């Protein structure tokens, strides 16, 4: 949750490196201050959210997280959108939470207000969310990436939970999702030393599924989103629900849920179309029904 890079030169380079070309507002509604939102893909079926606080290396402040929630709500309601990509800049996905916002908070305020409890929005959306991580994904940035369903990394990406350096621990799922993703030893090492891992180490440990050259990362994440968006939305949602259940349920209960969801696919037009198209050796045309 920490914003670890405040060096002025870094910030200046960051500001000039960030290219906003081609970005436009997603809706005619409230403009966003901290993020850029648009639809991408040949069929405009991939919702795209770019964290855009370049001077702060995308430090996650409350306002930014609220805007991400709003953008996600809009994409959830948009029947054209079948998948969502969240990215930052080439320098930083998000270098942590905004420590200035936390510096003088008391326990009583944190506890009474259930501080950070509304930061988990990304983990509750039904549509698949892909994190495209270039640069730093530290503290809250790493936690945000881990709330997504799939993580792609640029080859210079760095992941870490350095809260321990600030006298605190991760508070937005860092100790839980990291441990489930990479196992106890590496998670413990990262949380207790504050050391970062590279994109390659993250791939090796199962934290990310693919690593790409920096400039290919976002296009590849969008391609993945397009591939998912081409499938039946209702069936994709069932697949996501079933995989997520693996983190919550025993094997017996998880397998039971999977079986019921599998049975449920037989109540849909899209399951019938998919199998009929397969038998007729043609491409399926899904109607999300």
Residue 59 appears among annotated catalytic residues: no
Binding segment for ligand NAG (CB under 6 A), chosen from 98-106, 163-171, 208-216, 223-231, is 98-106
Stretches 61-69, 99-107, 136-144, 196-204: which one binds ligand NAG (CB under 6 A)? 99-107
109 as an active site residue: the answer is no
To ligand NAG, the closest distance from the beta carbon of 101 in angstroms equals 8
User: How far apart are CB 178 and ligand NAG at their closest, in Å?
Assistant: 28
Stretch that binds ligand NAG, among 19-27, 100-108, 159-167, 201-209 (CB under 6 A): 100-108
Question: Are the CB atoms for 158 and 138 separated by under 8 Å?
Answer: yes
Active-site residue (options: 41, 90, 95, 163): 163
What are the strands of the beta sheet with 197-198, ordered from one edge?
Answer: 92-94, 136-138, 158-160, 197-198
Contact set for ligand NAG, span 29-88 (CB under 6 A): none
Supply the minimum distance, in Å, between the C-beta of residue 99 and ligand NAG: 9
258 catalytically annotated: no
Choosing from 100, 184, 260, 289, the residue that interacts with ligand NAG (CB under 6 A) is 100
Backbone Cα Rg of the chain? 20
Give the residue, chosen from 104, 108, 112, 252, that forms a contact with ligand NAG under the rule CB under 6 A. Answer: 104
Q: Would the CA dihedral through 124, 209, 275, 226 be positive or negative?
A: positive
**CB 100 → ligand NAG: shortest distance, Å?**
4
| Given the residues 90, 143, 220, 226, the one annotated as active site | 143
* Cα dihedral: 162, 214, 17, 21 (round 10): -120
DSSP letter (8 states) at residue 122: G
| Chain residue whose CB lies nearest ligand NAG | 104
Nearer to ligand NAG, 100 or 227 (CB): 100
78 CB-contact burial (10 Å; exposed 0-12 / middle 13-18 / buried 19+): middle
End-to-end CA distance of the chain: 40
Q: Which residues contact 77 (CB under 8 A, 6 or more apart)?
A: none
103 is a contact residue toward ligand NAG (CB under 6 A): yes
User: What phi-psi label fits residue 27: left (phi over 0), alpha (psi between -120 and 50 degrees) or beta?
Assistant: beta
Lookup: tokens for 251: 């094997």
Measured from the CB atom, the residue of 100 and 118 that comes closer to ligand NAG is: 100
Tokens encoding 259: 């079986």
Token pair, residue 198, equals 């590279």
Residue 97 among the catalytic residues: yes
Q: What residues line the site for ligand NAG (CB under 6 A)?
A: 100, 103-104
């Amino acid at each position: 949750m920490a914003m670890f890079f405040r060096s002025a030169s870094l910030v200046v380079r960051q500001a000039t490196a960030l290219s906003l070309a081609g970005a436009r507002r997603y809706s005619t509604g409230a403009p966003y201050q901290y993020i850029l939102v648009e639809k991408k893909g040949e069929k405009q079926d991939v919702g795209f959210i770019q964290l855009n606080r370049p001077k702060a290396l995308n430090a996650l402040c409350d306002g930014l997280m609220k805007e991400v929630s709003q953008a996600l709500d809009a994409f959830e309601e948009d029947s054209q959108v079948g998948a969502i990509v969240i990215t930052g800049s080439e320098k930083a996905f998000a270098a942590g939470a905004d420590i200035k916002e936390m510096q003088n908070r008391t326990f009583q305020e944190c506890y009474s207000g259930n501080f950070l409890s509304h930061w988990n929005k990304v983990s509750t959306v039904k549509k698949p969310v892909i994190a495209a991580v270039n640069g730093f994904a530290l503290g809250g940035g790493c936690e945000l990436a881990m709330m997504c369903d799939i993580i792609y990394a640029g080859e210079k990406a760095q992941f870490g939970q350095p809260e321990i350096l600030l006298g605190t621990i991760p508070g937005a799922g860092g100790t839980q999702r990291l441990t489930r993703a990479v196992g106890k030893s590496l998670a413990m090492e990262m949380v207790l030393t504050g050391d970062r891992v590279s994109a390659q180490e993250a791939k090796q440990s199962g934290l990310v599924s693919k690593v790409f050259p920096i400039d290919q990362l976002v296009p590849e994440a969008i391609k993945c989103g397009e591939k998912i968006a081409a499938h039946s939305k209702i069936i994709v949602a069932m697949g996501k629900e079933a995989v997520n259940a693996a983190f919550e349920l025993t094997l017996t209960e998880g397998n039971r849920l999977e079986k019921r969801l599998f049975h449920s696919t037989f109540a849909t037009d899209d399951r019938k179309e998919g199998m009929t198209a397969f038998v007729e050796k043609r491409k399926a045309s899904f109607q999300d029904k």
